[in-house]
Amino acid sequence: MGTVFQSASWQRCRVHQMRNILSIVPRASQEMVASVIRTIFAQPDAKHVQAQFDEVTRMLEHSHPRVAQMLHDARATVDASILTGVIPVPELTAA
């Protein structure tokens, strides 16, 4: 089963985190907030993922402080997931 659903655990984590975040965002801002957060995981390597994570958190601090706090609270989990390969980053998963 792990072979078939290799990325299921991190995708599930991201889906639930996004759902939790969007539940506190006004409907009119949900698409923007979701798009900005998705840019974190669209980076080419771990260094850029971490830099984008910091940038997104900074961007949202003023307009959506609770979202920024949720991201800040999730930072250690994201870093650990990248380093252990739970969240695949092209640089770390290339054969």
Asked if residue 21 belongs to a domain, the reply is: no
The pLDDT assigned to 10 comes to: 46
Asked if residue 3 belongs to a domain, the reply is: no
pLDDT at 38 over 70: yes
pLDDT tens, 3-29? 544 444 445 567 888 999 999 999 999
CA 38 to chain centre: 6
* Residue 43: C-alpha distances to residues 10, 29, 34, 63, 79 (Å): 16, 23, 16, 23, 14
Higher pLDDT, 4 or 56: 56
pLDDT tens, 58-86? 999 999 999 999 999 988 877 766 665 55
**φ, ψ (nearest 5 deg) of residue 33:** -60, -45
In degrees, rounded to 5, the angle at the alpha carbon of residue 83 between the alpha carbons of residues 10 and 90 is 70
Domain count, the chain: 1
Determine the structural domain holding residue 78 and report its residue range: 26-93
Asked if residue 17 belongs to a domain, the reply is: no
The pLDDT assigned to 95 comes to: 45
Asked if residue 65 belongs to a domain, the reply is: yes
The pLDDT assigned to 37 comes to: 94
